[in-house]
C-alpha cells in the first residue's frame, strides 16, 4: 500500500503530464499548488523524524524540539484560504481546524512534561508518534481548504 507521500507524488506526475498537453484551469491550479505544499510538508516531517537526536541530554534535544514545534504550529496558521461555497463547508473547515489545534495542543503539553530517560532513542520515538498523529489531522484540515482529487482528468 502506497504512503500518502507516494500517492501525492503519483498525482503530481499525472498532473505534470496532463499540463504538457492542456492548460490547467483555476481549480487545477489550486489543486496543484496545494499538492506541492503537502508534498513539501510531508518531506519536512520526514526530515524531522530522521534527524531526531539520539540522546538523553535535554540540551541536545531542545533545539530540535523547538524547530519541530514552531513548524507544526505554523501549519495551523498558514494557507488558510481555499474555496468555501457555503456555510456547511465553512463549518467543516472550522471543525477540522479545531481538531487540528487540539492535536497540536496535546503534542505541546506532552512535551512540556517530557522527562529524560536512559533510552537515547525515546525522543525519536516520541517525535515519530507526534508526526504520525499530527499529519492525519492536518491533512483532514487541508482537505477542507482544497480537495486534491485522487484521479486527474
- Determine the Cα–Cα distance for residues 88 and 58; give it in Å rounded to an integer: 45
The pLDDT tens digits of the residues spanning 102-126 come to 999 998 888 877 766 778 888 899 9
What global pTM score does this model have?
0.87
Neighbours of 100 (CB within 10 A): 21
* CA separation, residue 113 to residues 44, 81, 132 (Å): 25, 34, 20
Q: pLDDT tens, 14-42?
A: 999 988 888 989 888 989 999 999 999 99
| Count of C-beta atoms within a 10 Å radius of residue 118 | 6
Amino acid at each position: 500500500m502506497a504512503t500518502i507521500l507516494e500517492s501525492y507524488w503519483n498525482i503530481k506526475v499525472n498532473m505534470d503530464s496532463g499540463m504538457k498537453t492542456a492548460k490547467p484551469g483555476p481549480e487545477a491550479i489550486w489543486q496543484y499548488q496545494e499538492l506541492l505544499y503537502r508534498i513539501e510538508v510531508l518531506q519536512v516531517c520526514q526530515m524531522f523524524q530522521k534527524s531526531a537526536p539520539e540522546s538523553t541530554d535535554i540540551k541536545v534535544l531542545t533545539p530540535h524540539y523547538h524547530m519541530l514545534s514552531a513548524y507544526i504550529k505554523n501549519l495551523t496558521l498558514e494557507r488558510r484560504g481555499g474555496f468555501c461555497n457555503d456555510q456547511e463547508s465553512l463549518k467543516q473547515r472550522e471543525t477540522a481546524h479545531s481538531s487540528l489545534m487540539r492535536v497540536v495542543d496535546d503534542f505541546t503539553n506532552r512535551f512540556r512534561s517530557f522527562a529524560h530517560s536512559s533510552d537515547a532513542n525515546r525522543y525519536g520515538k516520541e517525535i515519530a508518534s507526534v508526526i504520525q498523529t499530527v499529519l492525519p489531522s492536518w491533512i483532514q484540515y487541508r482537505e477542507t481548504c482544497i480537495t486534491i482529487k485522487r484521479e486527474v482528468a
